[in-house]
Amino acid sequence: MESLDGTIWDVLIAGTGIQQSLLSLALSRSGKKVLHIDSNDYYGGDEAAFSLQDAESWCKRIDEGKFYEDASYCTSIDI
């Protein structure tokens, strides 16, 4: 994988839900350089589908209060 150091992005999109993904698609198709990131270790935001094992692990992390421990921030932006 190539390094992203020094790359100049036109747009940064945080989150991989359906809205963010469609916005990323539209902007990239219009020629914008888009950096699309997510703080979760899965893709899809609220629309994500988990395997049974992944769902159990996710629920356990929430029960233990560890859901946001890896995130430096949590935000939601509606456009």
Locus of tokens 């893709």: 43
Residue 30 has pLDDT above 50, yes or no: yes
Distance of CA 44 to the CA centre of its chain: 7
| Residue 45 within any structural domain of the chain | yes
- Residue 72, pLDDT score: 46
| Residue 71 within any structural domain of the chain | no
Rounded to an integer, what distance in angstroms lies between the CA atom of residue 56 and that of residue 33? 36
- What residues make up the domain containing 28? 11-63
The number of residues in the chain equals: 79
Strand partners, 12: 35
> How many domains does the structure of the chain reveal?
1
| Residue 37 within any structural domain of the chain | yes
For the record, the structure tokens of 52 come out as 């049974």
Instruction: Please provide the average confidence, as pLDDT, over all residues in the chain.
Output: 81
In this prediction the pTM is 0.58
**Segment 19-31 mean pLDDT:** 95
| Residue 32 within any structural domain of the chain | yes
